[in-house]
C-alpha cells in the first residue's frame, strides 16, 4: 500500500522543525510532532507563506606592475601604471626603463575639485618588431602549414598567449569526504567578501587539508582564523610538518565560546621566494549537531540515481512537481520539475570529469551543497557535445529521515566551433540561458556573443568564427582553467566588427592569475588579435567584485578613454595621451547610477544626495552628456512605451518648484530621476530622517521627458528597477512622520533595438528548448573557418589600483550555491531570498534572514510596558526595543524591514529580538512571540499583551504598510 506523504512538521531530536508550506518527502512516511511549548522549543525549517512575485578616497596610479606571482544557521596596493614607451638615446635603455617603471604618480594628496588638471602618465613601451627576413619567412611558412587548424592573421607587435594555470589548489576532508576545493589568490583579500564555502571542523579541532601543488614546491604553510567581520584574529598558527599532498591544520579552540562561525585563511609559501604567498579562504564552523555526512551521502546518491534509468523512480518521492516548473527545457531543472526532466530527459549524458562538491551553508536544520562537473552526450547532429553542470541541493536530516528541501540543476553547452553549429538560420548555441549576451554590428555581418564564459565572434561575410577569449584550457585538461568564478561583458561592437569587452572576476591563468578584477580587452577583427588595454584589481571575491566593478568600468575604443567608478570617484583615463581626469569624487551610495550594459552613467557632480541641484548624465559610448536641473523648465511629455500599473498618473506640474534632484536608475536607455523639496523633509516611524521625493521623471537620451509620476499627498522613498520593471515604494505623511503604503509598478514595453541578429528559442525532440542567434537573411555557408586569435602587446597595459574598501550598507542574497543579488534595502533582499530559498547577509557578514531556519514556536523575554505621558506609541516601542537590545543583544543594529511580510519578520523574533510593527500611520505595537498559528504583541497604549491569529495580524500589518523595525547582530 502506498503510504501517505509526511506533513510539514518533523521531529529532529527534541526540536520540532518546519520548512515550508508544502509536503516533504521521506522514505518512511510522516513523523510525529511534539506539542508546542512556551519559549525556545523548536527549530523551523519552513517559512509558511509562498514567496510573492514580486566612499571616497582618491585613486592612485603608479608605475609598478603587479606581482604575478556564522553566528547563525541555513549560506591596496599603491597605484600602478603602464611601463613607459622607449625614449631616444640612453633614456631608451633597459636600465633606464626599469627605473622609470618604479616611479609612482600619486593623486591621493591632490586638492579635491570637480575636475583635476590632466597629468601625463609615463609613456608606454612598444614591443620590438621582428626585422629579420628569415624569422618572418619561417613564421609565414608555419602559418600556411597550420592554417587548416588555426588562422592567426599576424601583426607586427609582440604576440603572447595565456600561460597555463600555475597556482596550487587546496581542499579539505570533512567526515572522510573531500570537499571545498579552493583556488589561490596572490593578493590578501577582504575577509568580509570571502564566504563562498563553509568547512565544519571536527571536535578535536583537527582539519585535514589536501594539496594540489600542480608542480609547485611548497616551502611553508601558515594559517589564521578571523571573525566574520575580519576585525578579530582568533588564531595564528603554522604547519610544522610538510608533506607532498596532505597536511593537518591544528585549529583547536579557534572559535571562541558562543561563536559558531569564523573565516580560515591559509597561506602557502611557494618556491624560494620568502615573500611569495598564495592565499585561500573558507568559513569554518563547529560540527556540533550537524548532519553534513548524512546530507552529503544523500546528495551523492540522488545525483548518481539521475543517471541510472532503472533507479529513477527512487528519487520521485523527493520531488514536488507543479506548474511553476518549465518542463520544456533541460537547461534548468528544479525540485518542481517532473521526474523525466530531472533524469536528463532523452539526452543520456555521461559524467566526463570528477564531480567536485562544495558545502555552501550548514546548520542544525539543513545543509546546502553544490556539485560542479562536466557531462558529454550525443546531440541532434550525432556529435558528442560537452556541458558544464552546476547541481545544487538543500537537504535536511531529521530523526534519521532525509528531506530534499530544494534542488536546482543547470547545464550549459560548451560552444565548440569544430562541430556543426551553423545552419541556414544562424548560429546554434544549444542548451543555453535564455538571456544570451551578444552584440552585432549595424549591418548584421559580424556578431560577438558569450556562451558560458567563452567569447566568440562570427564574421558572416568572411565565414570565420573566432574564439576571442576563453580561460578554458584548449590544449589539455586542467580543472583550474575551468573555474567559473568570472564572467565576460561585451562593451561594444563597432561597424567593422571590432569588439571591446571586459573579463571580470577571478583570473584563472595568464599574467593576472590568482587576482580578482576587471580586465579590459579590444579584439581587432582585421588583425585577428586581442589587445589588453587595462586591468583594475580588487580585493573582493568574484561575486561582490562583479556587483561593484562589473558595470563600473567602460572603455571607449574610438576615443581611447577608460572610465572607472570606484571608491566614490569617477575617473576618466586617456590611454592614448596617458593622462587622467577625475570627473567626480566623494560620491556616496545613491548619488550615482549605471545602466545595465554600463554605457550610461548619471551622477550628482556637486552637493549631497538630498540637496544636489543637478544630475549629469553621460553616454560613455559617444562622449555626449546632458544635465537635469532641479529647477527645470516646463517640458511636454510623450507616451512612448511607459505604463503605470495602478496609482501613478501624469499630472500638471506642482506649483512648488523642486529644490533637489536625485538619480534613480536606467530602464534600457531611459533615465529615471526624482525631485525633492525641503518642506517635505520628515522622519520615518523609526525616527530616521527622510527626504522623500514627490515626483518621478523618465527622460530619453535626448533629455526629453517621456513620463512623469506623482500623486497629491503621496511621496516616494525609493524605486527598484529590474529588467525594465520599476517598483515604486510609496509613503503617506502624518504630522511629519512618513509611513509606507501600497507599492506601485511601472513597466516599459520597449523592446531590444532592432537588429539583423536576434536571440531566439527553438526546440528539438532530443534536446528540447535551445537557443540560436538568428540572422535576418539565410546563411549559405555552414562550415566557418575556426580562428583562435592571439593576445598581442602593442603597449604595456595599464594597471589601475584604488581603494575598494569604502564601507557601504549592502545586503547580499546567497542562494542555489552562489551570490544571487545585492540590494541596499533589507526588504528587497529578503523578498529575493524568499524566492530562491536563500539567505541574506549584511556587509559585516551578519545573518539578516534565512529561509527555513527559524524556531517554530518562540517567545522573547519582553515584559509588558506602557507609554509615558506625552509619548507616542512609536516612541515608546522604540525606546523599549533599544533598551532590550542593549541588555540581550549588545552591539545589535537597527534595521528597517518595511516591505517584508509578517511571516518573514518572525525570523528576527526567533533570534531573540522583538519587532516593532505599525498598525496604522499613527500607532505601533511590539511583536514579542509566536507559535504555529498565532502572534503575541504588546500595545503600549494600554500596556496589554494580546494574541491574535496570523491571518488577523497579516491584515493589520498591511494596513500599516507592512512597516516593521527590528534589531540584528
Environment class of residue 210 by beta-carbon count within 10 Å: exposed (0-12), middle (13-18) or buried (19+)? Answer: middle
Residue that has been written with the C-alpha cell 589568490 in this structure: 185
Q: Kindly give the pairing relationship between strand 529-538 and strand 798-799.
A: parallel
Question: 271 and 304: one domain?
Answer: no
SS3 labels along 209-259: EEEECCCCCEEEEEEEEECCCCCCEEEEEECCCCCCCEEEEECCCCCCCCC
- What CA–CA distance (Å, rounded) separates 631 from 617? 16
Q: How many residues does the chain have?
A: 969
CB 506 within 8 A of CB 485: yes
Could you give the C-alpha distances from 84 to 512, 717, 743, in angstroms and in order?
20, 50, 56
Q: Which long-range contacts (CB under 8 A, 24 or more apart) does 175-178 make?
A: 175/200, 175/292, 175/293, 175/296, 176/293, 177/293, 177/296, 177/357, 178/210, 178/357
872, 909: one domain? yes
- Evaluate whether residue 700 is within a structural domain: yes
Residue 673, phi then psi, degrees to nearest 5 = -135, 165
C-alpha–C-alpha distance, residues 554 and 597, integer Å: 9
HSE of 125 in the Cβ direction (CA atoms, 13 Å)? 20
Do 185 and 237 share a domain, yes or no? yes
CA atoms within 13 A on the CB side of 169: 18
Q: 302 with 271, same domain?
A: no
Query: Measuring CA to CA, how many Å separate 727 from each of 661, 828, 896?
Result: 19, 11, 18
Query: What interhelical angle do 950-959 and 902-910 show, nearest 10?
Result: 110
Query: How many whole angstroms from its chain centre is CA 384?
Result: 33
- Residue 10: inside a domain: no
- CA 685, 686, 691: angle at the middle one, nearest 5? 70
- Is the domain of 261 the same as that of 303? no
Residue labelled with grid coordinates 523574533? 909
Q: Please state, in angstroms and rounded to a whole number, the distance separating the CA atoms of residues 311 and 318.
A: 14
Same domain for 305 and 243? no
Question: Is residue 362 within 8 Å of 198, Cβ to Cβ?
Answer: yes
- What does the pLDDT read at residue 804? 57
pLDDT for residue 209: 98
Task: Kindly report the three-state secondary structure assignment for every residue of 124-164.
Answer: CCECCCCCCHHHHHHHHHHHHHCCCCCCCCCCCCEEECCCC
Written as one string, the DSSP assignment of 265-305 is: EEEEEETT-TT-EEEEEEEEEE-TT--HHHHHHHHHHHHHH
Same domain, residue pair 202 and 254: yes
Closest CA to 918 of 877, 950, 879: 877
Residues 6+ apart with CB under 8 A from 373: 351, 352, 353, 354, 355, 356, 389, 391
Query: What's the average pLDDT block by block, 10 residues per block, for the chain (969 residues)?
Result: 37 35 36 36 37 35 35 35 36 38 32 33 35 38 35 46 89 96 96 95 94 91 96 96 92 91 96 85 92 96 96 95 96 98 97 97 95 97 96 95 97 95 95 95 95 96 95 75 94 95 94 94 94 92 82 88 87 86 88 91 93 94 92 54 44 59 94 94 86 95 91 93 88 88 81 80 97 94 92 74 68 94 93 95 93 94 93 93 94 91 96 95 93 96 95 93 92
Is 432 domain-assigned? no
Distance between CA atoms of residues 121 and 81, nearest Å = 8
Cα–Cα distances (Å) from 158 to 147, 161, 734, in that order, read: 20, 10, 69
Cell of 420: 556543426
Residue 740: its pLDDT value, please? 86
> In the chain, helix, strand, coil percent, each to 5?
10, 40, 45
Q: Minimal CA–CA distance to 746: which of 729, 727, 731, 730? A: 727
Residue pair 134/607 in contact (Cβ under 8 Å)? The answer is no
242, 267, 286: which is the final residue of a domain? 286
Of 394, 413, 432, which residue sits at a domain end?
413
> Taking the mean position of all CA atoms in its chain, how far away is CA 191?
17
308: domain CATH number?
A: 3.10.450
| Maximal CA-CA distance, the chain | 98
Q: CB–CB of 467/787 below 8 Å?
A: yes
Same-domain status, 338 and 383:
yes
Record the cell numbers describing residue 49, joined without a space: 507563506
> In which region does residue 685 sit, left (phi positive, over 0), alpha (psi from -120 to 50) or beta (all else)?
alpha
Which letter does DSSP use for residue 604 in this model? -
For 394-425, give the DSSP string.
EEEEETTEEEEEEEEEEEEE---TTSS-B-SS
Smallest CA-to-CA distance from 487 within 451, 447, 511 is with 451
Place of cell 545552419: 423
Neighbour tally for 502: CB within 10 Å: 24
Using DSSP, state whether 963 is helix, strand or coil: coil
Number of structural domains (the chain) is: 4
8 A C-beta contact, residue 326 and residue 332: yes
Confirm whether 565 is domain-assigned: no
CB 364 within 8 A of CB 289: yes
Domain annotation covers residue 402: yes
> What are the cell numbers at 97?
626603463
Buried b (16+ CB within 10 A) or exposed e, 388-418: bbbbbbbbbbbeebbbbbbbbbbbbbbbbbe
d(CA 527, CA 95): 32
pLDDT of residue 646: 44
Q: Are 664 and 593 in contact (CB under 8 A)?
A: yes
pTM: 0.81
Q: Coil, strand or helix: which one is 884?
A: helix
In a domain, 950, yes or no: yes
Of the three residues 234, 258, 286, the one that is the final residue of a domain is 286
The packing angle between helices 826-836 and 902-910, to 10°, is 100
> Which CATH number goes with the domain that contains 266?
2.60.40.10
Sign of CA dihedral 657, 662, 664, 666: positive
Cell of 113: 575639485
* Per-residue b or e along 641-666, where b marks 16 or more CB atoms closer than 10 Å to that residue's CB: bbebeeebeeeeeeeeebbbbbbbbb
CATH number of residue 955's parent domain? 3.90.70.10
Q: Examine residue 947 and state whether it is found in any structural domain, yes or no.
A: yes
pLDDT value for 631: 83
Work out the burial of residue 811: count CB atoms within 10 Å of its CB; fewer than 13 is exposed, 13-18 middle, 19 or more buried. Answer: buried
Quick check: 44 and 24 in contact, CB under 8 A?
Answer: no
Taken in order 913, 914, 917, 922, the sign of the CA dihedral is: negative
Bridge partners (DSSP) of residue 720 are 727
Assess whether 352 and 276 both reside in one domain.
Answer: no
User: What is the distance of C-alpha 800 from the center of its chain?
Assistant: 23
* Whether the Cβ atoms of residue 563 and residue 549 lie closer than 8 Å to each other: no
> Do residues 469 and 519 touch, judged by C-beta distance below 8 A?
no
- Report the C-alpha gap between 661 and 53 in whole angstroms: 30
Q: With CA atoms as reference, report the closest residue to 32 among 68, 7, 55.
A: 7
CB atoms within 10 A of CB 525: 24
Residue 243 lies in a domain: yes
Range of 334's domain?
292-413
Instruction: Kindly state whether residues 279 and 298 are assigned to the same domain.
Output: no
Closest listed residue to residue 610, CA positions, set 672, 682, 547? 682
884 and 920 belong to one structural domain: yes
Q: Are 370 and 389 in contact (CB under 8 A)?
A: no
Q: Are residues 275 and 357 in the same domain?
A: no
Amino acid at each position: 500500500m502506498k503510504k501517505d506523504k509526511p506533513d510539514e512538521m518533523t521531529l529532529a531530536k527534541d526540536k520540532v522543525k518546519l520548512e515550508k508550506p508544502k509536503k516533504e518527502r521521506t522514505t518512511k512516511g510522516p513523523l510525529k510532532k511534539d506539542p508546542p511549548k512556551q519559549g525556545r522549543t523548536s527549530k523551523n525549517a519552513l517559512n509558511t507563506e509562498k514567496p510573492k512575485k514580486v566612499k571616497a578616497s582618491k585613486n592612485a596610479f603608479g608605475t609598478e606592475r603587479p606581482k604575478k606571482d556564522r553566528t547563525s544557521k541555513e549560506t591596496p596596493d599603491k597605484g600602478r601604471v603602464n611601463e613607459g614607451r622607449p625614449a631616444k638615446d640612453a633614456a631608451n635603455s633597459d636600465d633606464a626603463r626599469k627605473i622609470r617603471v618604479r616611479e609612482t604618480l600619486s593623486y591621493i594628496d591632490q586638492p579635491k575639485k570637480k575636475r583635476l588638471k590632466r597629468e601625463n602618465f609615463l609613456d608606454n613601451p612598444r614591443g620590438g618588431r621582428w626585422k629579420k627576413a628569415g624569422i618572418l619567412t619561417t613564421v609565414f611558412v608555419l602559418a600556411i602549414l597550420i592554417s587548416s587548424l588555426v588562422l592567426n592573421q599576424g601583426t607586427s607587435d609582440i604576440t603572447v598567449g595565456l600561460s597555463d594555470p600555475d597556482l596550487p589548489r587546496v581542499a579539505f576532508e570533512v567526515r572522510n569526504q573531500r570537499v571545498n576545493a579552493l583556488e589561490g589568490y596572490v593578493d590578501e583579500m577582504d575577509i568580509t567578501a570571502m564566504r563562498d564555502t563553509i568547512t565544519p571542523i571536527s571536535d578535536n579541532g583537527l582539519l585535514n587539508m589536501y594539496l594540489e601543488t600542480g608542480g609547485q614546491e611548497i616551502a611553508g604553510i601558515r594559517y589564521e582564523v578571523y571573525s566574520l567581520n575580519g576585525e578579530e584574529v582568533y588564531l595564528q598558527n603554522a604547519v610544522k610538518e610538510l608533506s607532498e599532498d596532505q597536511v593537518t591544520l591544528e585549529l583547536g579552540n579557534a572559535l571562541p565560546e558562543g561563536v559558531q562561525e569564523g573565516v580560515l585563511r591559509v597561506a602557502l609559501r611557494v618556491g624560494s621566494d620568502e615573500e611569495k604567498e598564495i592565499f585561500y579562504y573558507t568559513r569554518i564552523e563547529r560540527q556540533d549537531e550537524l548532519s553534513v555526512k548524512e546530507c552529503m551521502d544523500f546528495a551523492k546518491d540522488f545525483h548518481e540515481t539521475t543517471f541510472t534509468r532503472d533507479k529513477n523512480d527512487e528519487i520521485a518521492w523527493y520531488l514536488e512537481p507543479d506548474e511553476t516548473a518549465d518542463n520544456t527545457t533541460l537547461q534548468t531543472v528544479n525540485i518542481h520539475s517532473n521526474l523525466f526532466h530531472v533524469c536528463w530527459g532523452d539526452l543520456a549524458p555521461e559524467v566526463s570529469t570528477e564531480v567536485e562538491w562544495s558545502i555552501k551553508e550548514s546548520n542544525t536544520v539543513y545543509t546546502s551543497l553544490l556539485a560542479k562537473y562536466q557531462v558529454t552526450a550525443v546531440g541532434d547532429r550525432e556529435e558528442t557535445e560537452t556541458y558544464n553542470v552546476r547541481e545544487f541541493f538543500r537537504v535536511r536530516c531529521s530523526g534519521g529521515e532525509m528531506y530534499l528541501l530544494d534542488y536546482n540543476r543547470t547545464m550549459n553547452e560548451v560552444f565548440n566551433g569544430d562541430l556543426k553549429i551553423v545552419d541556414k538560420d544562424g548560429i546554434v548555441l544549444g542548451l543555453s540561458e535564455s538571456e544570451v549576451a551578444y552584440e552585432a554590428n549595424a549591418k548584421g555581418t559580424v556578431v560577438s556573443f558569450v556562451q558560458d564564459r567563452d567569447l566568440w565572434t562570427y564574421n558572416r561575410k568572411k565565414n570565420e568564427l573566432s574564439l576571442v577569449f576563453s580561460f578554458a584550457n584548449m590544449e589539455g585538461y586542467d580543472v583550474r582553467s575551468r573555474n567559473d568564478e568570472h564572467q565576460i561583458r561585451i562593451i561594444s561592437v563597432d561597424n567593422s566588427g571590432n569588439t571591446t569587452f571586459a573579463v571580470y572576476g577571478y583570473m584563472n591563468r595568464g599574467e593576472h592569475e590568482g587576482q580578482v578584477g576587471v580586465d579590459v580587452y579590444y579584439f581587432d577583427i582585421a588583425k585577428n588579435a586581442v589587445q589588453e588595454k587595462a586591468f583594475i584589481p580588487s580585493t573582493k571575491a568574484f561575486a561582490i567584485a562583479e556587483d561593484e566593478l562589473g558595470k563600473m568600468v567602460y572603455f571607449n575604443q574610438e576615443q581611447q578613454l577608460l572610465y572607472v567608478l570606484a571608491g566614490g570617484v569617477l575617473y576618466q583615463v586617456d590611454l592614448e595621451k596617458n593622462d587622467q581626469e577625475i570627473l567626480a569624487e566623494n560620491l556616496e551610495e545613491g548619488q550615482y547610477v549605471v545602466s545595465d550594459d554600463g554605457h550610461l552613467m548619471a551622477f550628482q557632480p556637486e552637493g549631497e544626495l538630498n540637496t544636489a541641484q543637478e544630475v549629469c548624465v553621460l553616454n560613455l559610448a559617444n562622449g555626449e552628456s546632458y544635465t537635469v536641473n532641479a529647477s527645470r523648465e516646463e517640458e511636454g511629455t510623450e507616451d512612448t512605451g511607459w505604463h503605470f500599473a495602478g496609482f501613478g498618473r501624469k499630472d500638471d506640474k506642482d506649483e512648488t518648484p523642486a529644490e533637489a534632484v536625485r538619480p534613480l536608475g536606467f530602464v534600457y536607455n531611459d533615465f529615471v530621476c526624482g525631485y525633492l523639496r525641503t518642506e517635505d523633509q520628515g522622519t520615518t516611524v523609526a525616527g530616521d530622517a527622510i527626504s522623500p521625493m514627490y515626483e518621478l521623471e523618465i527622460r530619453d537620451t535626448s533629455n526629453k521627458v517621456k513620463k512623469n509620476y506623482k500623486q497629491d499627498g503621496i511621496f516616494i522613498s525609493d524605486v527598484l528597477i529590474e529588467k525594465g520593471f520599476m517598483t515604486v515604494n510609496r509613503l503617506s505623511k502624518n504630522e511629519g512622520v512618513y509611513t509606507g503604503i501600497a507599492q506601485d509598478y511601472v513597466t516599459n514595453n520597449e523592446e531590444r533595438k532592432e537588429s539583423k541578429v536576434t536571440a531566439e528559442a527553438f526546440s528539438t525532440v532530443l534536446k528540447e528548448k535551445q537557443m540560436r542567434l538568428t540572422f535576418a537573411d539565410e546563411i549559405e555557408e555552414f562550415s566557418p573557418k575556426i580562428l583562435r586569435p592571439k593576445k598581442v602587446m602593442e603597449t604595456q597595459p595599464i594597471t589601475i589600483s584604488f581603494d575598494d574598501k569604502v564601507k557601504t550598507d549592502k545586503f547580499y542574497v546567497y542562494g542555489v550555491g552562489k551570490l544571487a543579488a545585492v540590494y541596499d534595502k533589507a526588504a528587497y533582499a529578503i523578498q529575493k531570498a524568499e524566492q530562491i530559498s536563500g539567505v541574506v547577509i549584511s556587509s559585516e557578514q551578519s545573518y539578516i534572514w534565512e529561509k527555513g531556519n527559524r524556531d517554530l514556536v518562540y517567545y522573547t523575554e519582553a515584559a509588558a510596558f506602557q507609554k509615558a505621558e506625552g509619548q507616542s506609541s512609536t516612541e515608546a516601542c522604540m525606546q523599549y526595543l533599544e533598551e532590550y537590545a542593549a541588555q540581550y543583544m549588545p552591539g545589535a543594529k537597527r534595521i528597517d524591514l518595511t516591505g517584508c511580510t509578517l511571516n518573514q519578520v518572525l525570523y528576527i523574533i526567533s533570534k531573540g529580538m522583538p519587532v516593532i510593527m505599525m498598525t496604522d500611520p499613527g500607532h505601533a505595537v511590539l511583536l514579542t512571540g509566536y507559535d504555529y498559528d498565532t502572534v503575541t504583541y504588546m500595545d503600549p497604549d494600554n500596556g496589554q499583551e494580546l494574541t491574535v491569529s496570523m491571518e488577523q495580524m497579516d491584515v493589520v500589518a498591511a494596513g500599516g504598510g507592512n512597516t516593521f523595525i527590528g534589531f540584528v547582530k
